[in-house]
């Protein structure tokens, strides 16, 4: 099959070529990929940023989102059959959606929302699951709470704003001047133009902050939280608790304890909690997201779509950090 893969870590590495078809285990579903999406995570994996956490082998097919059609199923699969239209974020140790075929554990899959086409569906899983696991699972956002979502025009941000509003929260977000009105239309109650305003002088007594930006924004975010508030970061630094959950070595746990010591210290000083979130595949949660999409509560936002042959160009575009919503690849 054709796939976009890397044979070593590096920013510009990657090519389209032939690789063996995936092996299908007894709990796996073989999916013909119709569309996928490009995430900042793909670039971070390509450069080796996660090689200590996720020790991949080469050649490595990139890609963390998919929408497609079931070709065949393993002997133990009960929930899917050939011909089903499905979507998923595959488990992190078995990525590879920049390809014509992928074998996915059935627990990561869900039926594709009936009101979305393949490209729209492919834009959903990773970003929407990240928002769900941050706001519903970790923060347990309740009606009337105040939630700040940084980078509201990004892939995760667009889903997080809509989900937080659905949960009944008052939502603030940060974005650039050009996107202020646009994120308001997604449901944000207050929009901070980071080019003109300092969010710490405008926002106070928030219950939850979802951060996907750099360390300077992370540190400042503590200041807008009320006592017992929650700071959840997608961009790190990871914690020793995360390392333990991942089953990493004692040495890596100590490294992550050290890396996160500054933000944890500041969080304790302000009486708030800090958590690092590395989202995981979850087909049951994705089914719940499907219900919200089919009900019109959440709508995917696509910035641009590229053909499969332009995967390298799509990666470069996402790396610029200016996309509004998601960037997709059409494979079939």
The CATH number covering residue 145 comes to: 3.40.50.720
Q: What is the CA 52 to chain-centroid distance, rounded? A: 19
Query: What CATH number does residue 65 fall under?
Result: 3.90.180.10
CA distances to 58, 65, 183, 289, 326 from 124, in Å? 27, 8, 18, 9, 8
**What pLDDT was estimated at residue 24?**
98
What is the pLDDT at residue 322? 83
Whether 147 and 78 map to the same domain: the answer is no
Q: What is the pLDDT of residue 52?
A: 85
Inside any domain, residue 214: yes
Please tell me whether residues 144 and 206 are part of one structural domain.
Answer: yes
pLDDT of residue 282: 98
Residues 84 and 159 in one domain: no
- In-domain check, residue 289: no
Cα–Cα distance for residue pair 89/66, rounded to 1 Å: 7
Based on the fold, state whether residues 133 and 221 are members of the same structural domain: yes
Exposed/middle/buried for 227, CB within 10 Å: 0-12, 13-18, 19+?
Answer: exposed
Domain that holds residue 190: 127-276
Domain check: are 81 and 146 in the same one? no
pLDDT tens digits, one per residue of 264-291: 999 999 999 999 999 999 999 999 999 9
**Residue numbers of the chain with a pLDDT score lower than 50:** none
| CB proximity list for 185: less than 8 A, separation 6 or greater | none
Extract the tokens encoding 171. 């939502």
Query: Do 235 and 325 lie in a common domain?
Result: no
What's the domain count of the chain? 2
CB 188 within 8 A of CB 158: no
The three-class DSSP label of residue 22 is coil
16 and 111 share a domain? yes
Residue corresponding to tokens 């793909």: 42
Q: Which helix (H) or strand (E) holds 175?
A: strand 170-175
Residues 26 and 95 in one domain: yes
Q: What are the angstrom distances between the C-alpha of 269 and each of 265, 280, 281, 312?
A: 6, 30, 34, 44
Question: Looking at the structure, do residues 26 and 141 belong to the same domain, yes or no?
Answer: no
**159 & 188 share domain:** yes
pLDDT of residue 90: 98
Q: Report the pLDDT value the prediction gives residue 268, as an integer from 0 to 100.
A: 97
Same domain, 150 and 239: yes
């Amino acid at each position: 099959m054709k796939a976009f893969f890397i044979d070593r870590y590096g920013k510009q590495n990657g090519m389209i070529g032939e690789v063996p078809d995936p092996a299908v285990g007894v709990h796996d579903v073989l999916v013909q990929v119709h569309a996928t999406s490009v995430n900042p995570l793909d670039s971070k994996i390509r450069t080796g940023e996660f090689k200590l956490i996720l020790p991949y082998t080469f050649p490595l097919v990139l890609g963390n989102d998919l929408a497609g059609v079931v070709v065949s199923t393993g002997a133990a699969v009960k929930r899917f059959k050939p011909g089903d239209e499905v979507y998923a974020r595959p488990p992190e140790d078995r990525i590879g959606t920049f390809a014509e075929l992928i074998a996915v554990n059935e627990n990561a899959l869900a039926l594709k929302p009936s009101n979305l086409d393949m490209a729209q569906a492919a834009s959903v899983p990773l970003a929407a699951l990240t928002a769900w696991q941050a706001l519903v699972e970790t923060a347990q956002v309740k009606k009337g709470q105040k939630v700040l979502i940084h980078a509201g025009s990004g892939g995760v941000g667009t889903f997080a704003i809509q989900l937080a509003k659905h949960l009944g929260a008052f939502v603030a977000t940060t974005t650039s001047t050009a996107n202020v009105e646009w994120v308001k239309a997604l449901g944000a109650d207050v929009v901070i133009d980071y080019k003109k305003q300092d969010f710490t002088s405008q926002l106070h007594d928030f219950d939850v902050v979802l951060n996907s930006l750099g360390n300077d924004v992370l540190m400042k975010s503590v200041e807008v939280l009320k006592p017992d508030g929650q700071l959840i970061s997608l961009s790190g630094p990871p914690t020793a608790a995360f390392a333990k959950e991942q089953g990493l070595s004692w040495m890596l746990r100590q490294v992550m304890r050290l890396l996160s010591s500054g933000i944890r210290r500041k969080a304790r000083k302000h009486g708030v909690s800090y958590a690092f979130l590395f989202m995981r595949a979850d087909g049951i949660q994705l089914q719940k997201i499907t219900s919200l999409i089919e009900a019109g509560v959440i709508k995917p936002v696509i910035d641009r779509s590229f053909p499969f042959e332009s995967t390298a160009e799509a990666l470069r575009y996402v790396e610029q950090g200016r996309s509004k919503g998601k960037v997709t690849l059409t494979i079939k």
